[in-house]
């Protein structure tokens, strides 16, 4: 398992001395390698808290949105008690998506495959053909839940770790980030959700992160938050005063008097990424003021796309000259997780659900599937027939 990583880490084993590595930029292959991308999915996107949206987007009972982050589709919904819940978008029966629309309003989630239905709290409500069978326990067949945190300003965060309590608490990643001084004087109730838009690009997600932080003179305060704000007096006079924050790994938010927008980097492969934007408008702003800032930043984001595309094309055997602070965080998380996998002798996917001991899926069957897939790809590093993560006693559905 270790030999393939020598090209990325420069060694067969991750050092265990505990010494702090020097601040060196990541090599170019960290921005192009499918194997590295799969490791990042396990080490970062399966474990870290991610900024998703604001509760303004879910104002009523049954309002839901569907998100997909690093290959993990999930539903975010507001239930009748006003709670915000998130679930993997997969039916417990035959793994068909419970929701096929990107957003909407629902009283229940009904799978269109065989009619299994679930409440807004994720609990199984009806299982035709199964619920009357002896030994069938509805309480053990709820939708697989995703951890959700709503901060003091109403922003919603998610963590895909499948454990009952995530390994990383929200406070470990973002303690008091919602109370930072740059938000003083901002009344979030003065904003309404306005619209979304997106752009796709042929580049690695870290290219986007590097570009965002360099363009705004990033200054890393800790391992999770990268802050920046350098508005000129002229910009402030035009209503372009910015309060901006980058939330590792893949989101940022910029607040202006007339609007704020969230930008999420949604990677789909080692070299493909989508920038998704949510725009919120100040209720008191004129159409002229809103459109000035809205169009200004759409132009800036379009220019950033071109920069990122060209940067990805120019990657060869050189070192990527991006934000060293951000790259250090990525390097440390990836190496830490890789070391755990070395010790375990297998890939570790924190977002995968653990099978109960009575599950019918056997370790022998899953190992057989993994071996077949690895042989077809000619590499023992293959992710497996389940999209990277099929492993003994662990799977997403059963």
Give the tens place of pLDDT for each residue, 315-355: 544 444 446 788 899 999 999 999 999 999 999 999 987 75
Nearest to 87 by CA among 63, 110, 59, 66: 66
Angle of CA points 14, 318, 215, to nearest 5°: 95
Q: What is the pLDDT of residue 92?
A: 87
Taking only the tens place, the pLDDT of each residue in 219-246 is 333 444 433 345 555 655 555 566 788 8
Q: What is the pLDDT of residue 388?
A: 37
Q: What is the mean pLDDT of residues 50-69?
A: 97
Q: What is the mean pLDDT of residues 202-220?
A: 68
Nearest to 39 by CA among 74, 76, 14: 14
| Tokens coding 344 | 């375990």
CA gap 3, 272 in Å, rounded: 26
Mean pLDDT of the chain: 77
Q: What is the mean pLDDT of residues 38-57?
A: 97
Taking only the tens place, the pLDDT of each residue in 116-143 is 899 999 999 988 877 778 878 888 889 9
Q: What is the pLDDT of residue 372?
A: 59
């Amino acid at each position: 398992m270790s030999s393939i990583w020598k090209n990325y880490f420069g060694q067969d084993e991750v050092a265990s001395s505990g010494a702090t590595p020097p601040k060196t930029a990541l090599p170019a292959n960290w921005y192009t390698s499918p194997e590295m991308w799969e490791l990042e999915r396990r080490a970062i996107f399966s474990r870290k808290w991610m900024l998703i949206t604001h509760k303004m987007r879910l104002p009523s009972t049954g309002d839901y949105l569907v998100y997909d982050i690093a290959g993990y589709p999930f539903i975010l919904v507001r239930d009748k008690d006003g709670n915000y819940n998130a679930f993997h978008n997969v039916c417990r029966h035959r793994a068909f998506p419970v929701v096929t629309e990107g957003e909407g309003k629902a009283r229940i989630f009904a799978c269109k495959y065989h009619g299994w239905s679930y409440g807004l709290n994720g609990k199984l409500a009806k299982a035709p053909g199964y619920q009357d069978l002896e030994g069938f326990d509805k309480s053990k067949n709820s939708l697989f839940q995703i951890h959700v945190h709503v901060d003091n300003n109403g922003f919603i965060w998610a963590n895909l770790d499948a454990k009952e309590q995530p390994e990383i608490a929200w406070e470990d990643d973002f303690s008091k980030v919602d109370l930072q001084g740059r938000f003083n004087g901002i009344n979030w109730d003065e904003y309404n959700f306005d619209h979304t838009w997106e752009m796709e690009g042929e580049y690695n997600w870290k290219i986007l992160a590097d570009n965002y932080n360099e363009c705004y003179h990033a200054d890393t305060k800790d391992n999770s938050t990268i802050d920046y704000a350098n508005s000129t007096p002229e910009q402030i006079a035009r209503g372009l005063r910015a309060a901006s924050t980058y939330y590792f790994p893949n989101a940022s938010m910029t607040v202006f008097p007339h609007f704020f927008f969230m930008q999420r980097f949604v990677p789909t492969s080692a070299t493909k990424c989508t920038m998704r934007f949510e725009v919120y408008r100040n209720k008191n702003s004129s159409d002229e003021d809103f459109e000035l800032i809205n169009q200004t930043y759409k132009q800036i984001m379009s220019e950033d796309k071109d920069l990122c595309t060209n940067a990805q094309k120019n990657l060869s055997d050189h070192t990527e000259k991006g934000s060293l602070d951000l790259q250090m965080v990525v390097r440390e998380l990836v190496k830490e997780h890789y070391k755990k996998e070395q010790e375990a002798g297998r890939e570790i996917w924190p977002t995968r659900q653990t099978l109960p001991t009575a599950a019918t899926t056997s370790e022998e069957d899953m190992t057989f599937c993994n071996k077949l897939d690895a042989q077809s790809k000619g590499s023992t590093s293959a992710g497996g027939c389940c999209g990277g993560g099929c492993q003994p006693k662990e799977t997403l559905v059963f």
